[in-house]
Structure 1
């Protein structure tokens, strides 16, 4: 039985914060792999209008290349409509019956868990892993394993804003992702 972490998100663009979280959880919980799962239409936010799913997928593949324990799953990109985690996890669990799954969420999402679509069913399908951050409450009635990850105050929205203004994003993103963004004139570059 493999132990697989799933890190979902828009990855618009994927950055070193995503990679840091994935690597820390992988090692802290002795997982076999981390699957990066780009969302189609996350119910709680909107993706950039100008960036295609294919471009987000390519940036994510570039970001994780070279790490044999990191994979990309396109299950949510292949589906239409809003991406509800419970529906995705039903499909994954049906396909990979012998594997154990750990769904990685940020500290901000721990507080939001009671509002997740069909949360009571979801906790039977997956083990939640919360990335600890001191500024957020970790109080929840749901089973969450906590992993302490070094703070890295970077977000895709900050990166998009910097790119739009022509400012540097060096050391916030893998160089391969920066080159892809520049070559394809993404985010206003």
Structure 2
């Protein structure tokens, strides 16, 4: 069996916080791979700031050079709202020799009771919770806790920096930063 971590999100844009979480969970649980799965339309967010193609391209640039990291476009290819239950069900069917570990932040652990079909979902995948400032990992659902360095970076923070023409160099991988500048995403994207 192959042990695969799943890190889903809009990745609008992907940032070093995402990379650190993936690395630390991979290391802590000795996973064979971590798959980054950009969502088409997440159920808990109304919109994304960039199109799916740009977000996939940025994630591909972000994971470049790390043999453990892969990009899977299952949710982008499906269109519509991306419910974790549907994704995990599809992945289990497509990759029967894989055991999946769904990585979520502590903010999402608190929200688990409201997830679509959560009682069925916990039978299909192992949840992995990573700490986040201001949230606890206490849940009635089985969640493996993984310690990661506390780095409070968000995609919203980076977009605001870009919109205000402020440097964002050390918050995203260099390839992602260059892509944002080249494509002039999130305003003019000219600041480094």
Q: Is the TM value for this pair above 0.5?
A: yes
Determine if the alignment matches structure 1 residue 64 to structure 2 residue 67: no
1:149-160 equivalences in 2 (<5 Å)? 149-160=148-159
* Cα contact 1:127–1:144 (8 A) shared by 2: yes
1:102-149 Cα shifts (integer Å, max 9, x gaps): 000000000000000000110011000000235212221100000000
Which TM-score applies when normalising by structure 1?
A: 0.97
1:113 aligns with 112
Unaligned runs of at least 5 residues, structure 1: none
Is 1:103 equivalent to 2:102 in the alignment?
A: yes
Structure-1 separation of matches of 2:153 and 2:177: 15
Q: Secondary structure at the match of 1:103?
A: strand
Which position in structure 1 is the counterpart of 2:6?
Answer: 6
Q: Residues 68-97 of structure 1: CA distance to partner in whole angstroms, max 9, x if unpaired?
A: 110000000011221110011000000111
What is the CA distance between 1:98 and its match in structure 2? 1.5
**Residue 22, structure 1, aligned to residue 22, structure 2:** yes
Aligned partners of 2:120, 2:73: CA distance in 1, in Å?
23
The residue aligned with 1:92 is 91
Measured on the aligned residues, the alpha-carbon RMSD in Å equals: 0.9
Structure 2 Cα separation of the partners of residues 44 and 53 of structure 1: 17
Secondary structure at 2:8 match in 1: strand
CA distance in 2, matches of 1:176, 1:139: 36
Note if contact 2:10-2:48 (Cα within 8 Å) is conserved in structure 1.
no
SS in 1 for 2:7: strand
Runs of 4+ in 1 over 2 A off after TM superposition: 46-49
> What is the Cα deviation at residue 11 of structure 1?
0.1
1:179 CA drift (Å): 0.7
SS at match of 2:76: coil
Gaps of 5+ in 2: none
